[in-house]
């Protein structure tokens, strides 16, 4: 058991996923990394998002999966400070998918 609860099998960041995400306005992006923060609370989603953006190349699109409303607000507000741009947030059955582009 880790500091923030049970560690997820296979890690929290899935590099080279090559998924496509379509925002509500119809724009589609190829996602190069998924950060799975489902079931996590502050500060874990913020730390994993920061790590993913730090490792991303300019132009890379990252999808952050969150189901904690407080973490969602915090992650979205900190994206510009981390050198990223918030492309959009998609409401899902079990939370939100925040789509971020490294600038």
Structural domain span for residue 92? 13-102
pTM of structure: 0.84
Structural contact between residues 87 and 21, judged by C-beta atoms closer than 8 angstroms = no
Which DSSP category does 6 fall into? S
pLDDT at 13: 58
- Specify the DSSP element, H or E, that contains 30: strand 28-37
CATH number for 62: 3.30.110.40
Number of domains composing the chain: 1
> Could you read off the pLDDT of 6-54 as tens digits, one per residue?
555 444 655 555 789 999 999 999 999 999 999 999 999 999 999 999 9
């Amino acid at each position: 058991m880790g500091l923030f609860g049970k560690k997820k099998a296979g890690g929290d960041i899935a590099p080279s996923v090559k998924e496509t995400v379509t925002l509500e306005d119809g724009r589609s992006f190829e996602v190069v990394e998924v950060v799975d923060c489902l079931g996590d609370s502050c500060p874990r989603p913020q730390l994993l998002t920061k790590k993913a953006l730090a490792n991303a190349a300019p132009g890379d699109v990252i999808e952050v999966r969150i189901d904690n409303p407080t973490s969602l607000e915090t992650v979205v507000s900190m994206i510009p400070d981390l050198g990223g741009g918030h492309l959009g947030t998609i409401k899902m059955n079990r939370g939100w998918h925040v789509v971020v582009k490294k600038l």
